[in-house]
Amino acid sequence: MSLRQELLARPGRKVRLAEHDPGNTLGFTDKLAAREELEANVRRLAALQYRLFAEGRRAVLVVFQAMDAGGKDGAIRRVMSGLNPQSCRVTSFKKPSEAELAHDFLWRIHKAVPARGEIGIFNRSHYEDVLVVRVHNLVPKAVWSERYEDINRFEKLLARNDVVLLKFFLHISRKEQRERLLARVEDPERNWKITPEDLEERKYWGDYVRAYEEAIERCSTGHAPWYIIPANHKWFRDLAVSQILVETLEGLKPKFPAPKFDLSKVRVV
Ligand code: AMP
Ligand code: MG
């Protein structure tokens, strides 16, 4: 079975994160070999991106979600390092502004969806509206509980309009989070990354687990699948994400468009 098959959250299936080992490497043991494999995938992605852009018919949207210190920034940096910035854009979703809160929760998201030919990467996403919002009761349950349906319909709309969606949950253990937060406290070059909220949010670990389980369970669909990526080992995380991206893009078979006129008669003077 391919990594893509193994890490897919199968649509309609119950999700229990406790059954997914964040330290799993699915039989891969050689970190150096995995790094080489990652580099090969990064090169493949660059070539596929070029075709996708030339074809100009479909967009790709990659969503990253994780607990704090789960590795979203790192995965984006390592896996996307070979992409041409011309047709690729990363959007990080923070606490909504007043203007954003004055609209429906998908308004700011829809504006950031990539155009045909482009690759869009979301660092956090509309899922925050059923994660942090649910955990902290930022809106009543009656409101957030309807959002799963809104999300599924929104993602269906995107899929029908040639946006290929894939969603990665980077799954770390609570212990691994502690170590990463400690490293942020100790390493002067990482101090800037730690916020009082990170320490506060850790207390809600169990609530976040339940919120993630329900989001993945209800919103992993054929047209917008969730993948649960064991992410304690950064080298495996990056290998798995890059591999799934390559497989997905290869499956699209992007084609160079036919020349717009008869090239056999062309003379370049
Ligand atoms: P970071 O990704 O570390 O820069 O942090 C961004 C923060 O914004 C996190 O604490 C998120 O939970 C928060 N955030 C993102 N989207 C939302 C949202 N829709 N509602 C409330 N908080 C959000
Ligand atoms: Mg943070």
Q: Could you tell me which of 64, 51, 169, 166 has the C-alpha nearest to residue 118?
A: 51
Alpha carbon separation from 148 to 55, 145, 206, 222 (Å, rounded): 33, 7, 20, 15
Nearest ligand 1 atom, CA 126? 19
128 lines ligand 1 (CB under 6 A): yes
Q: Do 231 and 70 form a contact (C-beta atoms < 8 A)?
A: yes
Ligand 1 centroid to 204 CA: how many Å? 15
Convert the pLDDT of each residue in 163-181 to its tens digit.
999 999 999 999 999 999 9
Q: Spelled out in words, what is the top-level CATH class assigned to the domain 3-254?
A: alpha beta
- By the 10 Å C-beta count (0-12 exposed, 13-18 middle, 19+ buried), 14 is classed as exposed
pLDDT computed for residue 4 by the predictor: 96
Q: Nearest residue CA, atom 1 of ligand 1?
A: 94
Domain boundaries, the chain: 3-254
pLDDT computed for residue 1 by the predictor: 77
Kindly give, in sequence order, each residue whose CB lies less than 8 Å from that of residue 254, ignoring residues fewer than 6 positions away: 48, 51, 52, 54, 55, 57, 58
Angle at 161 between CA 156 and CA 163, to 5 degrees: 80
Alpha carbon separation from 158 to 123, 163, 195 (Å, rounded): 18, 5, 34
14 lines ligand 1 (CB under 6 A): no
Task: For residue 177, give the ligand nearest its CA.
Answer: 2
**Average pLDDT over every residue of 72-90:** 96
pLDDT band at 40 (very low <50, low <70, confident <90, very high): very high
pLDDT computed for residue 221 by the predictor: 98
pLDDT computed for residue 85 by the predictor: 95
Q: Using most ligand atoms within 8 A of CB, pick from 101, 124, 181, 203 the residue to mutate for ligand 1.
A: 124
Claim: this prediction has a pTM higher than 0.85:
yes
